[in-house]
A and B are shown apart, each in its own frame.
Chain A
Amino acid sequence: MERDDKRLFMPGPLTDGHHQLADKCDLCHQQAFGGKELLQEACWNCHKDEHKKPFDSHPKTKFSDPRNADTLEHINALYCVSCHVEHQPEIANKDGLTQPEDFCVFCHEDIGKERVTHEGMDFMSCKDSGCHNFHNNRDIYTDFLLKHVHEPDILDKPQLPQLDLAGAMEEVMEYPHDRYPLKKLDEPAADAPAGSKKSEVIMGDWLSTAHSASGVNCSACHMVASTESGTEQWQDHPGDSQCANCHQLEQERFGKGKHGMRLAAGLPAMTVSEARLPMNEESAHKTLTCLSCHGAHRFDTRTAAVEACLDCHVDEHSLAYTKSRHFQLWRDEVSGRSESGTGVSCASCHMPRIDFDINDWVSRLGADHNQSANLSPNSKMLRSSCLHCHGMGFSLDSLADTTLINKNFIGKSQVHVRSLELAEEDHRRAIEERKEAVTTE
C-alpha cells in the first residue's frame, strides 16, 4: 500500500458508482473534518451537469424553500448523501439509492386522490421502468405519451439522427479556421515534418477519416503546446488532451462515465481488470483512453461502436448482441447495404446521439461518451435511443423486461407497462371535464 493510500480507513466498500475512486479519498472527503457542506460540494463537482438538462424536477432549491421545511423532516433532500449513502453497498440499489424504494410517499401520499389513474397504486412502483424518475420527472409526461399512442413496434423510417461535427465547427468561433479550413485534404497536403514516423499505413488511415475530409492536418493533433511557454512542438504520441481541443464535449462526457472517471479525477486511466462487470480476461490489462476505442489515425467510429466494446465486455447482454436483429441491421449498414443510421451498434443505445447545449445559444448533436448516463432508470433510453426506431409502447415494454434485455432483445417482451393506457384514460377524463364546463357555461 502506498504511503498516501488511505483505503485502510474506509468504513466499508464503495458502491458500483464510485468504486474506481477508492484510491482518491480526498476527491469526496476534501478535508478530514469538512462536514456535510463540503461533502455536498464534492458531489456537485462531478454530478451537477446531470441536473441541468433535462430539468431536474426535484432541485435543491425546491427543498430549501421555507414552505417545504416540513418535508425535510422525512428526508433531508438538501444533501445528496441523504438518499445516496456511500460505503454501504449492501443497502444501495442499482441507482445508488439507499432510501426505501417507496420514499415518494412522504410528499405525494395524496397522489391517488389527485390523479385518479394512480388510485390504489403501490408506492413501491413509482420508480418502475416507464414511470417516474426522481431527478427528471419531466422526461415522461402524459402529453408526451399521448403523442406516441398507437405507434407500431417499428416506425416507418427507423433511423438515428446523423452527426455532423464538421458542420458544427463552422459555428465555433474558437476553432482555428484560418489554420485548418474545413476542406478535404489529400496526401501531398499532409504536414507531418520530415523524420516523423509517417508510414503508408498511417497515411492510408488518415486519408480514410473525417479528419482529412474536414481539413484536420497532422499538425492539428501532433503539434502540442507547452504548458509553460505555449510554444508548439511535434510529438509522436500526443495525449488525450489534444483530442479535447476539438472534442471537448466528448471528453467531458467520457470523464463523467465509468470509462473515464478515473482520468477526470486525475488518476491513472481505468484498466479493464478494475471493472465489476464480466470482462474478457485477455483484455484485463487494457486501459481506457480515447485511443483505446478509437485507435490512432484511423479513428474508425464503427470499430469504436461495436468491436471495441466486445473486446472487453463479455456479460450475457453483450455476448447475445451478435445474434440479435440489431446486429444484423448494423452489419447491413457497415457493408453499405443500408443507409447510415439504420444499423444498431452498441453505441447507438449506450452512447446515443444527444443534442447538447454548448451554451445558451448553440447546441450540437454529439455521441454521449458517458455510457453510464442513460442506464438507470433505463427509461432514459427512450428518448435518446429507442424512440428513433421503435414505437413508445413497444419500447416501454421492452425496457421493463430484464430477461429480454439480457438476451439483447431477441424475442418479445413478456412484461406490459400501462403508461400509455393511463395517459389515454387521463385524456378521456379531461375531455369529459371540458365538455361539462362548456355545458355549464
Chain B
Amino acid sequence: MKMNKAYVLGASATLSLGLVAASIAATGVGDKPTITPKAMADALHLVMDSDRAVYTRKIVNRLVKKDKVIKASEHFEDDKALVLPAQMFRFGAEMVAKRAEDMPEVDFSYSLQSLWPINKQNAPKTDAEKTGLKFVAENKGKNYYTEETLGGKKYFTAVYADTAVAPVCVSCYNDHKDTPKRDFKLGDVMGGVVIRIPVKG
C-alpha cells in the first residue's frame, strides 16, 4: 500500500494535467507542472463533493423532505421527478468523459462506487478500488492514495469516502429494492469516489 505518498513534480514532470493547462494557457504558466497528482485529485474531489452536497441539501432534501413539493426518483423521466444525487454525479462523470474525448491533454476519470452497490456494476473491481473503499469506510475522514496499472497504463488513483450528508441519502438507499444493506445512518460512509489520473512510469 502506498498511502499519502508525496507526488511532487519536478522539472521533468510526467503528469498529464491539461485541465489546469487549458485554463491558463494564455500566459504559458499553465504548461509548467506545478501541481501534484494528489493535489489535483483532491481539488477535483473538492469540486465534485461540494457540488453534489449543494444539490443534495439545497435541492433534493429541501424540495423532497422539507417542502414536499416534488419527488426524487431513479426513474426521473417516467416519474417526472428530480434526478437522484448519485445519478447527478454519474451523469456528470459521463459528460466529463465524453467532453474530454475532444481534449487530449485532459485525461482523468472518476466514478462513484460502493462496497454495498445497488447496481452491482458499481462494486469495486480493481485491487486499488477494493482496498481503497475498505480503507475509507474503516478510517473516517481519511483518503486513500495509490498507483495502479490498468490496460497497460499507469494511474495515480485516489479514493474518497462518500458519506450520507442528508436524510434523503439514507432513506433512499435503505429502501431501494436492490440494496444489499438497509441500516445506513446519517453520517455513515456509503461508498467512495475513485479518481484516476494517468502518470508515466
A interface residues with partner B (beta carbon < 8 Å): 54, 59-62, 64-70, 72, 107, 110, 114, 141-144, 426-427, 429-430, 433-434, 437, 440-441
9 nearest A-B residue pairs (beta carbon):
A69-B151, A430-B177, A61-B97, A437-B182, A66-B150, A114-B120, A69-B150, A61-B94, A65-B109
Identify the closest chain A residue to B109 (Cβ). Answer: A65
Contacts of B177 in A (CB 8 A): 142-143, 426-427, 429-430
B194–A67 touching, CB < 8 Å: yes
Chain A: which residue is nearest B94 at the CB level?
A61
Question: Can you name 19 A-B pairs with beta carbons within 8 Å?
Answer: A61-B97, A62-B94, A64-B97, A64-B101, A66-B150, A66-B155, A67-B109, A67-B111, A67-B150, A68-B125, A70-B125, A70-B151, A141-B75, A143-B74, A427-B177, A430-B178, A433-B182, A437-B183, A441-B183
A110 to B121, CA, bound (A): 10
Please name all residues of chain A whose beta carbon is closer than 8 Å to the beta carbon of B194 when the two chains form the complex.
Answer: 67
Q: Which residues of B contact A143 (CB under 8 A)?
A: 74-75, 177
CB of B36 closer than 8 Å to a CB of A: no
Chain B positions near chain A (C-beta within 8 angstroms)? 74-75, 77-78, 94, 97-98, 101, 109, 111, 120-121, 125-126, 129, 150-151, 153, 155, 174-175, 177-178, 182-183, 194, 196, 198
Question: Given known contacts A61-B97, A110-B120, A437-B183, is B75 in contact with A72 (CB within 8 Å)?
Answer: no
Complexed CA–CA distance, A54 and B150 (Å):
31
Q: How far is the CB of B122 from chain A (nearest CB, A)?
A: 10
- Nearest CB of chain A from residue B40's CB, rounded to whole Å: 16
- CB within 8 A of A65: which of B97, B101, B174? B97
In the complex, given contacts A67-B196, A69-B150, A434-B175, what are 9 additional A-B residue pairs having Cβ atoms less than 8 angstroms apart?
A: A59-B94, A59-B98, A62-B94, A66-B153, A70-B151, A142-B177, A144-B75, A427-B177, A437-B182
The interface residues of chain A lying within 8 Å CB-to-CB of B101 are 64
Measured CA separation A430–B174 after assembly (Å): 11
B125 partner residues in chain A, CB cutoff 8 A: 67-68, 70
A361 to chain B, nearest CB (A): 15
Cβ–Cβ < 8 Å partners of B111 in chain A: 65, 67
Docked pose: A344 CA to B75 CA in angstroms? 29
Minimal beta-carbon separation of A197 from chain B (angstroms): 48
Query: B98 contacts which of A61, A68, A110, A429 (Cβ < 8 Å)?
Result: A61
Q: Which residues of B contact A65 (CB under 8 A)?
A: 97, 109, 111
> Which residues of chain B are near A441, meaning CB under 8 Å?
183
Instruction: Please name all residues of chain B whose beta carbon is closer than 8 Å to the beta carbon of A68 when the two chains form the complex.
Output: 125
**A49, B101: Cα distance in complex, Å:** 18
Q: How far is the CB of A363 from chain B (nearest CB, A)?
A: 11
Taking CB atoms, residues of chain A closer than 8 Å to B183 are 437, 440-441
Beta-carbon contact of A437 and B153 below 8 Å: no
When C-beta atoms are compared, the residue in chain B nearest to A431 turns out to be B177
- Selected from A54, A66, A141, A429, the residue in CB contact (under 8 A) with B109 is A66
Nearest B residue to A114 via CB reads: B120
Does B151 lie within 8 Å of A54, measured CB to CB?
Answer: no
Q: A426 to B182, alpha carbons, bound, how many Å?
A: 17
Closest chain B CB from A355 CB (angstroms): 10
Kindly state the separation between the CA atoms of A142 and B74 in the bound complex, as whole angstroms: 12
Distance of A54 Cα from B121 Cα, bound (Å) = 20
How long is the Cα–Cα vector from A107 to B175 in the complex, in angstroms? 27
User: Chain B residues near A110 (CB, 8 Å)?
Assistant: 120
Minimum distance in angstroms from A431 CB to a CB of chain B: 9
B155 / chain A contacts, CB cutoff of 8 Å? 66
